[in-house]
Structure 1
Amino acid sequence: MNTNFLKLAASAAAFAVIAAGSATAQTWQPDRPINIIVPWSAGGSTDQVTRVVAPILEEALGTEVVVVNQPGASGSIGTKAALDAPRDGYTWTANAIANNATYQVSGLLEESGIDDYRVYLHVANAPVISVNANAPYKDFGELLEAMKTGNVTVGTAGVTSSGGMALAALNDASGGDMTARMVTYDGGNPAVIAAASGEVDMTTQLAVEQTEMIKAGRLRPLAVISDTPLEIEGLDPVPPVTDWLDMHVAPDYFGVFIPTGAPQEVYDTVDQVWEEHVMNAPALKKYANERGAMFNPSFGDQARERAMPVVISEACALKSRGEAVKDPSELGISCE
C-alpha cells in the first residue's frame, strides 16, 4: 500500500480524534446574549476589565456578551440580581472575588460565598493611596500623620469595596486611631474623580481606576498597598506601603463568576474558552501593563486556591473589627 496514503490516513484519523475531543469539551452553544452584571458604576476597575474580557468571550462563544452596570450597596444589589436570575448560564456577574465571598460575612447578602460560583479570574489589582495634586503631603508618612490627627476625607466605593477595605486595613495597621473620614460613592471611578477634583482629599481605590488621573497630573500616588513597588507604564514606581507600616497584603483578584446550578455543559465550555482564549489574550495583557494590574488568569480549583488568601484576609478583618454579621467560620473560612 502507498506509504503516503497511510500517512494521510493516520493524520486524518488523528485530526478526527482531536476534533471530536474539542466538540465534546465545548458542547454548549449559547443561542441568545449572555449578560454580565457589573455591580458597580461605569469606569471603575470591575467595569474596565470586564469590558476588555467581554469581546474575547463573545468571539469565542459566538454570541453577544452584554456588560450591564447595576451599582448600589457596595456591589451587593447587582450581585443579588445575578444570583436571583435563572440558573441557565446566561447571567453572570463580575467583581473582586473577595467581595462575592464576603457579602454574607458583612451581612449585605444572605447568599454569596466563594462556592456559590464557578470562578474565572483574570487580573489582580492593588489599591493605591493617592492625594489630590495640590495636597501638601510629600510622602505617605506625612499623610499618615494627617490621617491620624486631621480631618482628612477619603473617597471610596463603599465599606466593602477594595478602597474601603484598604482604608480599614490601613487603620488596623496604624493602631486603629485614624480620624480620616470615608466618603462613599457608587463606584471606584466617581470616588477617584472626587479626589482628583478636590471634593475629597484622597482615595484608596485601585491603581487601574486611578491611572488616567495620575498620568494627567491630577492625582499624586504616595504608596501602593503591596510589599513591592507598583510599576505602571510611563510612571515612576509607586513605593510599597510596607515602607511605612507593618501590614499583611494579599493579591486582590478580579474575575467573572457564573452562579452554580447551571447545566454542567455551561461550565465545561467556559472552562475551555477561558483556557484557550483568555489566559493568553493580548488585549488583557495590554490592559494590565498599561493600568498597573497583574495579569494572572485562572479558573476552577486553581482560581479558588489563588483567591483564598484575600478572601480570608478580608473576611477575618471584618470579624476582628466587629463588623461581621456572620462569623467567617460558618462559611468555612478559618481566622485562626
Structure 2
Amino acid sequence: MSLTRRTLLATTGGVLAAPALVSAQGSSWRPDRPVTIIVPWAAGGSTDQMARIVAAELEAALGQRFVVVNQPGASGSIGTRNALEAAKDGMTWAAGAAVDVGCYKVLGLLDTQLQDWNLFFAVANVNILVANPRAGIADFGAAMEAFRTRGASMAVATAGVSSAGHNMMSAIKAATRIDYRHATYDGGNPAMIATVSGETPMGAVLLVEAAEMIRARRLIPLAVQAEQPVTLQGVGELPSIKRWLPDIPAPMNYFGVWCPKGVPQNVVDTVGQVWRDRIKDSQRLKDYAAQRAAVFTPIAGQEAHDEAWKMVRQTAWLYFDGGTARVSPDTLGIQRL
C-alpha cells in the first residue's frame, strides 16, 4: 500500500475518501479501482519522473491509486495507442510530451492528433546536447566541428524518432546542414546512459534526464535549446544554443498526462478541478522543476492545447523538410509558423 493511501486511511477512520474539493461536486468522478497512467517510454526518463509525481498528487486528491505503467516502443506510439484504444471510462491515461501526440500522424506512427486528447500539463522541459567527457568535445562549437568533419559517423543518442532529442537534432540539422548518425533508444534515460557509458560520444536528451550526470561530471553540457541560458542547481549557467545558432527555434516543450476525447465529462471536469486546486500549487512539482531546470507549467484544457500547438507546428514541418514525415502537415491542418 502506498504512503499516500495509508495516510488517507489513517485520517478517515479506515475509509479511503476523496477530499472535499472533489466530493463536494454533485457530478464529480470517483474512480472505484486503480487508474492506469501509461508512460510510453522506459523507466527513469523525463516522462516517467513527471508522471510518478503527478500520479501521487492525483492519488492524494481522489483517494484512489494511480498506477504508472511503462510501455516503451515505436517512439512512444505503442503505449499511446494502448491508451487511445482503451475503454473510454477515464481509467486509462497516457503521459508524455504533447509534441509527440501532435506529430504521430505526420510521422505515420499513429492515427491521432493533439485535438483528440484532454490535455493536462505539469512542466515544460528543455532539450540539451551533452557529450561524454572522453569524447574530447568541450562545447557546442567543438560539437559542430565534429559533425562537419565526421558527418554520419558521429553518433548522437536520443529517445528515438519524434523524441525531444531527435527534434533538437532535426532543428540543428535544418539550421546548419550537418549530418550525424541517429542512435535510437527506448527513452531518454537509456539514451543518457548510453552517452555516459561512451556507447555514443554525444546525446540529445532533456535536461531533466541529464541533470544528475551533469552534476556528477559524467556528462558535459554543450548547449540547451532555449531562448536564454538556463541555470542548473549545483552547476551554474548552461549556454543557449542561440549563442551559436541565433535563428534556431526554441519553443516550450510541454509534458503532462492526457486521456482521449470521449471519456465522460465528469472525469475531465474533476481532473480539471484537481489541476486548479492542487497541481497548480504542488510543492513536489515545483521542487522537481527547480532541481532539474524545468519550467513549472500547470495548465490544462484549451490553454494547454494552444500553447503546445506552437511546438507541434514547428516540429511537424521540421519532419517534413527533413524527409521523415509520411504525411504533409498542411493536409492535417498544421500550417507553417
Q: What's the TM-score, normalizing by structure 2?
A: 0.91
The match for 2:305 is 304
Partner of 1:8: none
Partner Cα separation in structure 1 for residue 218 and residue 324 of structure 2: 34
Which letter does structure 2 place at the counterpart of 1:164? H
1:114-161 residue CA offsets vs partner (Å, 9 max, x unmatched)? 111100011001111110022212321111111122132111111211
> Partners in 2 of 1:78 and 1:304 — Cα distance?
21
Give identity over the alignment, percent. Answer: 46
Matched, 1:38 2:39: yes
Partners of 1:116 and 1:267 in 2: how far apart? Answer: 13
1:131–1:221 CA contact under 8 A, matched in 2:
yes
Q: Which residue of 2 aligns with 1:74?
A: 75
| DSSP 3-state at the match of 2:297 | strand
2:22 and 2:270 in contact (8 A); partners too: no
Counterparts of 1:164-179 in structure 2, within 5 Å, are: 164-174=166-176, 176=177, 178-179=178-179
* Alignment correspondent of 2:136: 136
Displacement after TM superposition at 1:212 (Å): 1.1
Task: Please tell me whether the aligned partners of residues 74 and 157 of structure 1 are also in contact (alpha carbons under 8 angstroms).
Answer: yes
Q: CA deviation at 1:234?
A: 1.0
**What does 1:100-249 align with in structure 2 at a 5 Å threshold?**
100-110=101-111, 112-150=112-150, 151-174=153-176, 176=177, 178-245=178-245, 246-249=247-250
Give the Cα–Cα distance (whole angstroms) in 1 for the partners of residues 21 and 109 of structure 2.
45
Unaligned runs of 5+ in 2: 1-19
- Segments of 5+ residues of structure 1 without an aligned counterpart are 1-18
Instruction: After superposition, give the CA deviation of every residue in 1:100-120 in whole Å (9 maximum; x if it has no partner).
Output: 11100100012x211111000
Shift of 1:26: 5.8
Instruction: Out of 131-140 and 44-53, give the one that drifted further.
Output: 131-140
Q: Deviations 1:42-68 (Å, cap 9, x if unpaired)?
A: 001100111111100001011000000
Q: Deviations over 1:251-284 (max 9, x none)?
A: 1110101111111110010000111111110000
Q: Structure 1 CA distance, aligned partners of 2:21 and 2:318?
A: 49
Provide closer, same or farther for how the CA distance between residues 147 and 66 of structure 1 changes in structure 2, counting only shifts above 3 A.
same
Tell me which residue corresponds to 1:282: 283
Query: What amino acid is aligned across from residue 129 of structure 1 in structure 2?
Result: L
Q: CA deviation at 1:24?
A: 2.9
For residues 179 and 172 of structure 2, the distance between their equivalents in structure 1, rounded to whole angstroms, comes to 12
CA RMSD of aligned residues (A): 1.5
Provide the C-alpha distance between the structure 2 equivalents of 1:269 and 1:52, rounded to a whole number of angstroms.
Answer: 18
1:321 maps onto 2:322 in alignment:
yes
Shift of the 20–251 alpha-carbon distance from structure 1 to 2, 3 Å rule, reads: closer
Normalising by structure 1, we get a TM-score of: 0.91
In 2, the alpha carbon distance for the partners of 1:218 and 1:20 equals: 45
Against the structure 1 CA distance between its residues 236 and 104, is the aligned structure 2 distance closer, same or farther, given a 3 Å change threshold?
A: same
- Structure 1 residue 21: Cα displacement: 10
- TM-superposed deviation, 1:232: 1.2
Q: How far is the alpha carbon of 1:323 from its aligned partner?
A: 2.1
Tell me the matched-pair count.
315
